[in-house]
Structure 1
């Protein structure tokens, strides 16, 4: 949530707490079916903890501290890439550029629920459905403007940001955490979606039996991210993960 690429003076949201209950309330408020909810992932490797999570894992949100290691990797990987300019129904994923300060949690949630299997669980006629249908034909700059100007999105986020277990920080606070989403597209590709990057990042192909929390899904996604930090030496390994999956309500 340390949105260093978003200029001071731009619209800022109160940072969203990394709390599955808060996140579930927010996505349902926007218009996601109650068939899905967010779950804490207490371990990425311990079978006894993984087996209790309802599958398939539709999306993962990784929350991590912004480190020099990460910023260096991000700059180097993005340097050789063109700025993404996709739009339209033929896109494999819908990607949102972040232009609202401290809104990386919201952008991560939107990436998770407007792509892959979650898209089929959006309630027709809901605010989320209307937002997605308006966003699909737009280029990234116009999509970002759509989110920036959306009163329904701002209202739902403001309501959610006041919930949770901790006192909400000020909207202008400099919070050194960031959210990145991992989703499996309908074509079977694993995508890393981050509004601070130049566009969506295809991390490789998953098999029909794989979800984003499977061994292969983790190898290409969240574990690759964490190993990069570890191998760089001195990289922080403080992180948390939440998963969007079948509802247990």
Structure 2
């Protein structure tokens, strides 16, 4: 089971209003949830088993539309590096048409898997696969004009989103925590290519905002050399290598 808690307070100092059961790091569970939200069944999540083996990478349909990285957070290295990075950043205030990517601040405890999914399907080519009048379409219509705090509250207030997430969270092979308020020590980060400026963005709802990692070539996707190097930064931070890490990719199913 993989997900993580977010900082204990909202930006306005209030406690969490919502706690979700964490999602299993399982491409079938993630795929079920995006379809339940209203993404075309042409899109699916798959495991990425290697970032270096050309044979294993050749099985992944291209272009890769988004990456979702799952990694352990209960390490001194991660906590120190994130704290230093966030201290040097300004709070993000983007909204509406001015945004190069659609970013969601995470205020629902243990729901970082859901935020990873929302980042993956709200940006890049994936956003073109959202069915009209679907739950996700309605969420985007409501959220995009809002500033980050109001956008976060809109997600919290969506009972339909909560029900869809719960249905996915009780699937999979892992033991579901007895309480949604039980914190777990894994976190999801998403990587997308902006459909507006072509840059690679690191999307983490527990950060101060999206992180622009630089421009990708027109024909470069999120499994290209640049994006892979960013993912490897995470893998290289811990002395034990990639223990506890997993990676999923959002692709168009060719079946």
The two structures share one fold, judged by TM-score above 0.5? yes
1:216 counterpart residue number: 226
1:165 counterpart residue number: 173
Matches within 5 A, 1:65-214: 65-66=72-73, 67-169=75-177, 170-186=179-195, 187-214=197-224
- Aligned 8 A contact 1:184 1:190 in 2: yes
Where structure 1 has 5 or more consecutive residues not aligned to the other structure, the ranges are none
Normalising by structure 2, what TM-score? 0.92
Using the alignment, how far apart are the partners of 1:75 and 1:151 within structure 2?
33
- Aligned 8 A contact 1:115 1:183 in 2: yes
SS for the counterpart of 1:89 is helix
- Aligned 8 A contact 1:94 1:111 in 2: yes
Using the alignment, how far apart are the partners of 1:2 and 1:34 within structure 2?
28
Using the alignment, how far apart are the partners of 1:236 and 1:243 within structure 2?
17
Q: 1:239 aligns with which of 232, 238, 245?
A: 245
Query: What is the deviation of 1:59?
Result: 0.3
SS for the counterpart of 2:98 is coil
Using the alignment, how far apart are the partners of 2:209 and 2:241 within structure 1?
24
Normalising by structure 1, what TM-score? 0.94
Do structure 1's residue 53 and structure 2's residue 60 form an aligned pair?
yes
Using the alignment, how far apart are the partners of 1:69 and 1:236 within structure 2?
14
Using the alignment, how far apart are the partners of 1:34 and 1:9 within structure 2?
33
1:11 counterpart residue number: 18
Using the alignment, how far apart are the partners of 2:43 and 2:240 within structure 1?
37
Using the alignment, how far apart are the partners of 2:242 and 2:137 within structure 1?
38
Where structure 2 has 5 or more consecutive residues not aligned to the other structure, the ranges are 10-14
- Aligned 8 A contact 1:210 1:217 in 2: no
* Higher mean displacement: 73-82 or 101-110: 73-82
Do structure 1's residue 63 and structure 2's residue 70 form an aligned pair?
yes
1:39 counterpart residue number: 46
Using the alignment, how far apart are the partners of 2:180 and 2:254 within structure 1?
32
Q: Please report the RMSD computed on the Cα atoms of aligned residues, expressed in angstroms.
A: 1.5
* Higher mean displacement: 113-122 or 208-217: 208-217
Query: What is the deviation of 1:27?
Result: 0.4
Query: What is the deviation of 1:214?
Result: 1.4
Using the alignment, how far apart are the partners of 1:89 and 1:108 within structure 2?
21
SS for the counterpart of 1:171 is coil
CA-to-aligned-CA distance 1:188-213 (integer Å, 9 cap, x gap): 10000001000000011111121111
